Structure 1
Amino acid sequence: MLTNLHDILFNISRNPDVDKGDLMASSRLLLSSIAQGLEIDRASVWLLSDDRMQMRCIYLLDCAEHHPEPNMALARADFPRYFAALDGERNIVASDAHQHPQTSEFSACYLTPLQICSMLDTPIHHHGAMVGIICLEHCQAKLWNNDEITFASFLADIYGRALSASERVRYQNELEQLNSGLEQIVSQRTQQLTQSLEQLQQTQHRLIEVEKMASLGRLVAGIAHEINTPLGIAVTANSHAEATLLELEQLFHANQLTRQRFAHNGNAIKNCIAMVNANLQRTVDLVNSFKQTAAASSEQKKAENLQLNRFIPDVLSSIESILKQHHVEVQIHIPESMQVQSYASPLALILTRLIENACVHAFNTEQKRQVIIRTSQNKHSWQLEVRDNGRGMDKHELARAFEPFFTTRRSAGAKGLGLTLVFNLVSHLLQGEISLHNADTGCVVTLNCPLQLTTNEP
């Protein structure tokens, strides 16, 4: 290749403008270099459409005049032999373009009006496919030598590099626009989610307050109902005793009191007093149960390290009479070395209430009655499971089991506060969770408590 052509190629290959992605600037640079190196009249860049049925000129250099994006296009239907030659992706070298079989189609409509005699079209490749041509044209007959053809081919390859840069810049701009759009969408969605979260939190807060008030209302109504019954009986019995005593006084002052009448009214007063005492005692027991339930999380107690395989048998021995009364057998499965941090008295109360609850409510037949106590632990928590082989509970009972005053044996004197007390002790004092579900036979109560309690002790 001629030295000056080699130098031109070297300078163009190192020119940073080729890789900036500006196709017009790259076309201007390459066509100016072609005109300078080959001393031809015209040079242009043409790109094929996506369907390869048309080719459009995107830059024209005509006798040193630059024409970006001239209004020039060629259709495959009008020049079939020329496009068929392009499909072969080879250089079209025509010293006499009017007579050349691949370019003669341009003679009347293109070559003659522009006074073009010779043509050299070299393909532009991008991503391995031909996407267009660099067209070199001269008004006089010109024999294109190998150096000139090679020079044009090198410039076509450099133009392929410019196409890649343009594509990269376009993708980058699209990506930036997409990112900008995504950032805007994310910002809008974040704002919407924040507003939705705030509304949800407000709604949740309102629902919690409503539920608190509803729970408080149910609690107050339950307390009022439970206390009102024995107090009402006591008031009625006391009124009857007062009326009976007044009758005795009137008979005494009228000297009409007989031994039989005195004995009859005396027995009535004794019965009233006994009824008043019994119902007042029931009221006292109810109030103590309320206090015990409410004090579950407020009393200051000291946590201890409890050896469960010793602690639980001691608790069971204290309620042995209850187990014998209801003919219940208790089995325990406790790892020998299992030790947990907990509160001895509340934990004993929890276990006692759970077993008493099973004895009273779980069994309704003369089957072999069993309660199984099982403990286990993992890295952060320990579990206590109390399982019976009784009748189980229906969905309604399971859903309301921990509610205050809910009981299925109110007629037998049950107050419905046992599991409520257990729930409060486990949740607040032992800092754990309690669950209740049916097994194949009977119910299973499971406590899940942390190995180390968080305390406010100094």
Structure 2
Amino acid sequence: MSDQNLVLIVDDSTTNVRILADVLETAGFSVLSAKSGEDALQQLETILPDLIVLDVLLPGIDGFATCDRIKSNPLTQEIPIIFMTALANAEDKVKGLHLGAIDYITKPFQQVEVLARVKTHIKLRRQTQQLKDLNEQLEQRVAERTHQLSRSLNDLQQAQLQLVQQEKMSMLGQLVSGIGHEINNPLNSMTGNLRHAERYLRRLIYHLHLYEQHYPNPAEAIVHNAEEIDLPFLMQDLPRLLSTLGVATERMNHISRALRTFSRSDNDNTIELNLQDGLDSTLLLLQHRLNPTPERPAIQITRDYADLPPVLCYPGQLNQVFMNLLANAIDAIEEANQGRSYKEIAANPNQIHVITELQDSTAIVRIRDNGIGMSEATQQDIFKPSFTTKPVGKGTGLGLAIAHQIIVEKHQGKLICESTPAVGTEFTIKLPVLAE
């Protein structure tokens, strides 16, 4: 059985369950609870919730083991799981995410944050299910009408490719744009209020200094409290803390702008685009995959940009091409790292080189990596629909085919691949620029 917007809370703390249940029920969700992993697994035999909020520390089997069992069951493996824990170290978070969890809530939790995360992940699950249903409907329609079609196999593949590309762009654009706009308003509020907070703090500190000057012999209670709270350190460290928060909010503003740049919806007509803006926003969104890991140092990004005139294009589709090529470059590097030690990788660092240049009336973008590379035979097939070199479940084979279609058919450009096994790959995009 299944219930609309049903959340299962797994926590042995009655207080936590009651607080979460009140928040979620007030927001219109249905709530079930379980006090242990065993209890949760038993309930999942008859009820399939839309989302599970799972505490890590449970009596009996812990949250990690419970998550592993849920994700191992074909009937429950698609249910999104949010871990709730007081453990704040990165190792536990990575462990939970590797087991299949989609998010973490750190105790003590904020009710507004919990509600926002629950709403977001249930919405994402609904959208994913809708996309899955739509794909199944498309596949069924293709199967039912195949015997009626007289077009060639190539025409059929191109039609399917176009449908998938449009659906993917629509969902991706809505999701990324929605996230960018949702975080923009609170970020602006945080940025503005931090400026006021810094000004107020300076005034308060100045006021305290005046007291110290004019009342050099304070009462014993004031002296005791100043020692207890380490007043000199507090007055010195608090401005630095606010400054750090300012840097963090500015970083988040950059990410918000990158999301909005990346997800710009395409009009019926092409519009002008600075290619470097699209490349930079895409690289920022992929930053989490470029950062260092316990297995390897950070992937080095080198930008070599020329002064390019604007290009007349469909920005959303062109950014999709950049995302696909850069993500493939990261995949190729990670595959090349298999079997190599951290020291070996550091001696020959992972690198992605992004180059733009202008030749006559053509804007050129080169994306070069030092990953695993490809054979000549593979290069001949990479732009064919459904061709992929990745393992089952890692890719559909549509990415490069869609990228080729966007560049060649939609923008009258060229997409070229040059690769050498064990050396690396370079994709070259050539696009016409606006006449002066």
Q: Report the TM-score, using the length of structure 2 for normalisation.
A: 0.38
Higher share of residues assigned strand: 1
